[in-house]
Amino acid sequence: MEGSSSAAREDGRYLRRLKAASTGDADARLVFLCNFEAEEQWAVGHTGLPAPRFPVSAALVRRMEELGATLAGPRDVLLLSAPLDEDFRTHARSGGAALPEVLVPERAAGSASTAQAVLDSPRALAELTRLAAEGAWLMPMGTSPLEQRVAEVTGLRLAVPDSATFERVNSKIYGRRLAAEAGLREVPGECCEQVGRLADALRSRYPAMAEGRPVVVKDAYGVSGKGLVVLESPEKAERLLRMVGRRAERTGSHRLEVVVEEWLPKRCDLNYQLTIDRDGRVEFDFVKEALTENGVHRGHLMPSRLGEGQVAELREAAAAIGKALYADGFTGIAGVDAVLGADDVLYPMLEINARLNMSTYQGGVTERALHPGHVALARHYALTLDAPCPLDRVLGALGPLAGPEGDPALGGARLVITCFGTLNALAGESAGAPFTGRLYAVLFAPDRDLLAAADAAAEKALSRIASRGEPS
């Protein structure tokens, strides 16, 4: 294994709380497996929309696992498909991160997940078996059959529930029904488990569509814009129904698992996190403004601008959601999407993501770098490159903004890179053609104006290295 940070630091308060809730021991040693592809596993066997999908490359999604590096502690282990970049290690440590040990399975992941690569790697399995004997726990982003198999083969105890529980509670249909039973204010809509029910749900809303009020249809297991269709007109809805009907005729099955919801005018999207410990105690962790575009997650703005009464309403919703999840066998972290309507009406449960979330992985960085009264923006920057781009070129372009003291010209605003492996993840698939990578980061600033200025400065700086990569 690659060694952890040489700095003898203890776990932060945020991580210790996560460990205590998940295992009962704040000092537990965790083996992190950040399987961002979990939803694809849970969706197997569930019929969603036949609409064309444009999936993000598996290689890019897999390299998002590096987000776990700034959450895990120095005694923890992070399973990765490739080693951490040494310059990224230096950058992370300069920001106060005490990095975990890294275990890379000897069999290349290729197009498979890191969990599958581990299962195919005898030396990695042997090391995990040794860690299990020493009392370590497996902490996946969410348990799918592959992560459950890793736990079974190695003897690692799961710090979270089993695959069947995760699959059950992450359905959007499950979430809507939980909200109804808990008496939470719902976005107007309904669950559809048959083709005919979808037709009825859409056609009853044609007058609203004709008046310019869109309707959205979501797969029960869609994520980040996948399996989501916005219908602005009855004509578009009829095209979707014809596609669904043809598939039903072809397969002989009218089974379907989607939700239909009215697209509300809104002030902002919200994301809040709750943690359910092994005894069923529920803690409200935080709320952030979620930045979305056509249903696709773009980032988080923190803290939110909600009033005390609105936050109190979310706390009550979190308690009700946590109680229901615990009754259904779920413990651990759950993220909840919510909406603040343009009329200031709060809809506290749009959907449940009962797993570690992007917000979860930001916890360690924000604990270290977000000063009281300051603000932060978590996002990714998309760069189109024609060759792999080393981190020193990125840091050179960003200048003092990416330094440990921040940019004095921007009031000390600072950018912390949280995942670098995604920037060059597609270089090997491009065959010399340009490719688009992602640089994940969190920006910190004294106020929102300086935060916006820092974000604009980062965009401008990074645009100068786009399509250049490593010089020949």
In terms of domains, do 123 and 195 share one? no
CA 301 to chain centre: 15
pLDDT in tens, 374-404: 999 999 999 999 999 999 999 999 999 999 9
In terms of domains, do 273 and 308 share one? yes
Confidence of residue 468 (pLDDT cuts 50, 70, 90): low
pLDDT in tens, 404-443: 999 999 999 999 999 999 999 999 887 779 999 999 999 9
Residue 360 domain flag: no
pLDDT in tens, 76-119: 999 999 999 999 999 999 999 999 999 999 997 776 899 999 99
In terms of domains, do 26 and 155 share one? yes
Q: Between residues 250 and 53, which one has the greater pLDDT? A: 250
- In three-state secondary structure terms, 199 is helix
In terms of domains, do 285 and 145 share one? no
pLDDT in tens, 299-350: 999 999 999 999 999 999 999 999 999 999 999 999 999 999 999 999 999 9
What CATH number should be reported for the domain holding residue 241?
3.30.1490.20
CA distance readout (Å), 34 to 52, 61, 79, 113, 357: 27, 10, 8, 10, 10
In terms of domains, do 195 and 280 share one? no
Confidence of residue 9 (pLDDT cuts 50, 70, 90): low
Residue 6 domain flag: no
The pLDDT value given to residue 347: 98
272-289: average pLDDT: 98
pLDDT in tens, 86-95: 999 999 999 9
Amino acid at site 450: L
In terms of domains, do 154 and 24 share one? yes
DSSP assignment string, 238-250: HHHHHHHHHHHHH
pLDDT in tens, 438-453: 999 999 999 999 999 9
In terms of domains, do 247 and 274 share one? no
Residue 31 domain flag: yes
The pLDDT value given to residue 300: 97
Residue 469 domain flag: no
Residue 400 domain flag: yes
Confidence of residue 52 (pLDDT cuts 50, 70, 90): low
Is the pLDDT reported for residue 7 higher than 80? no
Share of the chain above pLDDT 90, in %: 88
- In three-state secondary structure terms, 338 is strand
Is the pLDDT reported for residue 56 higher than 70? no
Do 21 and 332 form a contact (C-beta atoms < 8 A)? yes
Residue 365 domain flag: no
- Which domain-ending residue is among 354, 383, 417? 354
pLDDT in tens, 120-168: 999 999 999 999 999 999 999 999 999 999 999 999 999 999 999 999 9
Confidence of residue 294 (pLDDT cuts 50, 70, 90): low
Amino acid at site 348: P
222-226: average pLDDT: 73
Query: Is residue 418 left, alpha or beta, with left meaning phi > 0 and alpha meaning psi from -120 to 50?
Result: alpha
Residue 364 domain flag: no
DSSP assignment string, 443-454: EEESSHHHHHHH
CA distance readout (Å), 28 to 70, 157, 292: 17, 11, 35
DSSP 8-state assignment for residue 413: B
In terms of domains, do 163 and 30 share one? yes
In terms of domains, do 159 and 203 share one? no
Q: What CA–CA distance (Å, rounded) separates 34 from 23?
A: 18
Confidence of residue 297 (pLDDT cuts 50, 70, 90): confident
Mean pLDDT estimate for the chain: 94
Count how many residues are written for the chain. 472
CB-based contacts of 139, cutoff 8 Å, min separation 6: 22, 30, 31, 32, 33, 159, 160, 356
Alpha helices in 134-213 (DSSP H): 145-154, 163-169, 172-182, 195-203, 206-210
235-260: average pLDDT: 96
Is the pLDDT reported for residue 223 higher than 80? no
Closest CA to 150 of 170, 168, 132: 132
Residue 298 backbone dihedrals phi, psi, to 5 degrees: -120, -20
In terms of domains, do 160 and 21 share one? yes
Residue 179 domain flag: no
The pLDDT value given to residue 138: 99
Exposure of 464 by Cβ count < 10 A (0-12 exposed, 13-18 middle, 19+ buried)? exposed
In terms of domains, do 210 and 160 share one? no
Range of the domain at 271: 265-354
What CATH number should be reported for the domain holding residue 376?
3.30.70
The pLDDT value given to residue 298: 84
Q: What CA–CA distance (Å, rounded) separates 291 from 297?
A: 6
In terms of domains, do 203 and 311 share one? no
Do 380 and 448 form a contact (C-beta atoms < 8 A)? no
Q: Provide the domain count of the chain.
A: 4
What CATH number should be reported for the domain holding residue 278?
3.30.470.20
